[in-house]
Amino acid sequence: MKPSLPVTRRDLLKGLGATGALAALGPSSAAAADSAPPAAPPRPTPPRPRNARSAAAARRALFDKVQATTFIDTHEHLIEETDRLQGTAHPRVPCDDFALLFSHYLDSDLATAGMPAADLKRFLSPGIEPAEKWRLLEPWWPAVKHTGYAQAVRIALEQLYGVVDLSAATVRQAQEGYERLRRPGFYERVLRGVANLESCQVNCLTGEPFKESGLPTLLMQDLSIVGMFAGPNFKTYAEPAGINVQSLADWHRVITWWFDRYGRYAVAAKSQHAYSRDIDYARVPPEQAEPVFRRVLARERISAEDRRLLEDHLFWQAVDEAGKAGLPVKLHTGYYAGHNSMPLHRLARNPGSATDLCRLAPQVTFVFMHICYPYYEDIIAAAKQHANACVDLCWAWIINPIASKDFLKKFLVTAPANKLLTFGGDYIPVEPVVGHAALARRGIALALAELVEEGWLSLNEALGLVDPIMHENARRLFKLPEKEAALKQAPWATAAARG
Ligand SMILES: [Zn+2]
C-alpha cells in the first residue's frame, strides 16, 4: 500500500491564519494575546518551515531507507520448514491450502465478527475446494478485511501470489500461488527474500523448551522457561535432563541443566505465563516453596495461593539462571491471542508489575513484548524509568497498526532508543510474516516522517534511528554474532548450516 500524505501541523496553522493558529496552539497562547502584556512575550519556536516539496522529499527518503533496511525479527512461533512440508500431519497445520494464512490470527477476527463456529472450522479444514472456502468467507470478509490481522494476510496474498483482491474470481489463483511457493527452501525465500529479514527468533510451541532447528541461523530460538515454574512440567523438562526429581533441589538442577545445555545457543528466555496470571512474581525463599513443591510432586491438591507461591519461587529460579547465562528474559505482556477469553483488568496490571520485576532483578534485562497493548503509554514509562526494561513491538503492528505508530513516536521522544525492538511477526505459518513486516515498515516510516514534520526530529536524526531500531538493537541485546557462531557449530547443525 502506498503512504498517503496527512495534513501536517504546518498546513493546519497556515489554513487557520495567525489568530486561529494562536488559538490552535493552546489556551495559554490565546490568553497571552488577549491580556496584551507590556513586553513582547516569548514566542514558541515553530518547527522550521518546509515547503510541500521538501516534506515530500523527507518522507520519500525515510520510506526508501526503511524499505531497504533489514529487520531482525525478534519473535515468531514458526514451525520447522520440514514439518510444514508434511502438511496437515503437523498439529499446527489445520489445512494445507491458502486458508492456512487465515488460521493465525485472522480466524479470531472472523469469530468475533460473528462467523458461525462450524463455518470457520470448515473454512480451516483440509480437503475443501477453494471456491467453497470463498463462499464460507465472503459474508464476513467486508467486516474484517481492514483489521491489522487481515491487512497482513492481504499484503501476503499480493506479494507472494499476486492476488490483489481476494474474491470468487481470484481464490483459485491464491491456491495455485500457495502450492507453487510451498516447496523446499521456501522459508529462506519468504523470510529473507521477500520480507527482507536477517534472522528470526522462534518461541517453539510444540512441546520442546528449545528447538534444535534444521535452519539454526535463520530460525534462532528462545529457551522456553514457562514450564520451569508453571505446573511445573516434570515430563517435558526432567526427562531430557535425566534427573529423577525427588526434591525442590532436584528441580533446581533440572532448570540449571537446560541453561547449561542450551544457554549458549538460545537468544533469550521466554515466558507467556501472563496468559494465566499477572506477572507479579514475588521473591519466595526455597524454605517456603519446598513443602508446596513436595505436595505437587505427590500429586496432592494445592490451593491457588500455594500454587502462586511455588510459581513465584520457581519463576525467579529460572530468571536468575537466565541472568547468569546472559540471556534477556522476554515476557508476554498485554493483549491475548484468541477470542472470547481475555480479562482486560488483569492485563492492566502488567506495566506496574513489570517495574517491580525490574527492581527485583537489576542484573537481568527484561523485554516486555507486544508493547503491553493497549497499555503502551504505561510500558513507555517503565522503559524510561528502568535501565533493564526493553520494549518489543512484536505482534503489535497487526493488533493495532495506528496505536503501534503512536507508540513508536512517543517512545522515541520519551525513552532511550537503544531499548526498543520494532518487529516480530509472531506467526505459526510463515507466509503472513511478509504482510506483517510490510505493515511494520510502513508504520516505522510514517512515525519517523511525522516526527520530522512536527519538528521533534531532524531528517538526519530520523534517518539515523532506522538501523538501530530495525536491527542493531536486537543484534546487540541478543548477542547475535556470538549466537550465530555457536549455532553454526551446534551438534544438530547440518553441513549446509555450518556453511
Ligand atoms: Zn507469541
> Would you say residue 432 has pLDDT above 50?
yes
40 part of a folded domain: no
Alpha-carbon dihedral sign for residues 169, 438, 265, 282: negative
Tell me the average pLDDT across 267-293.
97
Cα 90 → chain centroid: 24
Mean pLDDT of the chain: 92
Per-residue confidence band for 50, with pLDDT thresholds at 50, 70 and 90: low
In terms of domains, do 338 and 435 share one?
yes
Tell me the average pLDDT across 463-483.
98
Domain extent at residue 220 = 189-498
CA of 425 to the centre of ligand 1 (A): 8
> Would you say residue 16 has pLDDT above 50?
no
Query: What pLDDT sits at residue 18?
Result: 38
> Would you say residue 170 has pLDDT above 70?
yes
CA of 12 to the centre of ligand 1 (A): 41
Per-residue confidence band for 53, with pLDDT thresholds at 50, 70 and 90: confident
For 6, which DSSP code? P
CA of 203 to the centre of ligand 1 (A): 7
In terms of domains, do 349 and 252 share one?
yes
In terms of domains, do 421 and 274 share one?
yes
In terms of domains, do 299 and 380 share one?
yes
> Would you say residue 440 has pLDDT above 50?
yes
Q: Please give the model's pTM, rounded to 2 decimal places.
A: 0.90
421 part of a folded domain: yes
CA of 471 to the centre of ligand 1 (A): 19
CA of 466 to the centre of ligand 1 (A): 24
61 part of a folded domain: no
Tell me the average pLDDT across 459-482.
98
In terms of domains, do 395 and 492 share one?
yes
CA of 205 to the centre of ligand 1 (A): 9
For 419, which DSSP code? G
> Would you say residue 388 has pLDDT above 80?
yes
In terms of domains, do 112 and 244 share one?
no
> Would you say residue 34 has pLDDT above 60?
no
Tell me the average pLDDT across 18-30.
38
In terms of domains, do 229 and 308 share one?
yes
Work out the burial of residue 275: count CB atoms within 10 Å of its CB; fewer than 13 is exposed, 13-18 middle, 19 or more buried.
Answer: middle
Query: What pLDDT sits at residue 313?
Result: 98
> Would you say residue 21 has pLDDT above 70?
no
Tell me the average pLDDT across 403-420.
98
CA of 426 to the centre of ligand 1 (A): 5
CA of 16 to the centre of ligand 1 (A): 46
Query: What pLDDT sits at residue 38?
Result: 59
Query: What value does the CA radius of gyration of the chain take, rounded to a whole number of Å?
Result: 25
73 part of a folded domain: no
* Cα separation, 234 vs 248, whole angstroms: 12
Per-residue confidence band for 3, with pLDDT thresholds at 50, 70 and 90: very low
CA of 335 to the centre of ligand 1 (A): 11
How confident is the model over 183-204, as pLDDT tens digits? 999 999 999 999 999 999 999 9
CA-wise closest residue to 439 among 471, 400, 376, 397: 397
CA of 73 to the centre of ligand 1 (A): 12
* Residues flanking ion ligand 1, Cβ below 5 Å: 426
In terms of domains, do 157 and 197 share one?
no
> Which residue, 139, 157, 181, sits at the end of a domain?
181
Query: What pLDDT sits at residue 430?
Result: 98
Tell me the average pLDDT across 61-83.
98
305 part of a folded domain: yes
Alpha-carbon dihedral sign for residues 14, 19, 23, 27: positive
Query: What pLDDT sits at residue 54?
Result: 87
> Would you say residue 40 has pLDDT above 90?
no
CA of 75 to the centre of ligand 1 (A): 6
Query: What pLDDT sits at residue 207?
Result: 85
414 part of a folded domain: yes
Q: The sheet that has 366-368: what strands, in order across it?
A: 71-76, 197-202, 219-224, 268-271, 329-331, 366-368, 389-392, 420-421
> Which residue, 137, 153, 181, sits at the end of a domain?
181
* Cα separation, 330 vs 75, whole angstroms: 10
CATH number of the domain enclosing 281: 3.20.20.140
CA of 186 to the centre of ligand 1 (A): 22
CA of 497 to the centre of ligand 1 (A): 26
CA of 165 to the centre of ligand 1 (A): 28
> Would you say residue 393 has pLDDT above 60?
yes
Which is higher by pLDDT, 173 or 26?
173
CA of 70 to the centre of ligand 1 (A): 21
67 part of a folded domain: no
In terms of domains, do 223 and 335 share one?
yes
Tell me the average pLDDT across 437-451.
98
In terms of domains, do 104 and 177 share one?
yes
CA of 76 to the centre of ligand 1 (A): 6
> Would you say residue 250 has pLDDT above 90?
yes
In terms of domains, do 274 and 384 share one?
yes
Query: What pLDDT sits at residue 52?
Result: 73
How confident is the model over 318-368, as pLDDT tens digits? 999 999 999 999 999 999 999 999 999 999 999 999 999 999 999 999 999
In terms of domains, do 193 and 176 share one?
no
* Cα separation, 80 vs 50, whole angstroms: 50
Domain count, the chain: 2
CA of 34 to the centre of ligand 1 (A): 55
Per-residue confidence band for 49, with pLDDT thresholds at 50, 70 and 90: low
209 part of a folded domain: yes
> Which residue, 161, 181, 201, sits at the end of a domain?
181
Query: What pLDDT sits at residue 39?
Result: 67
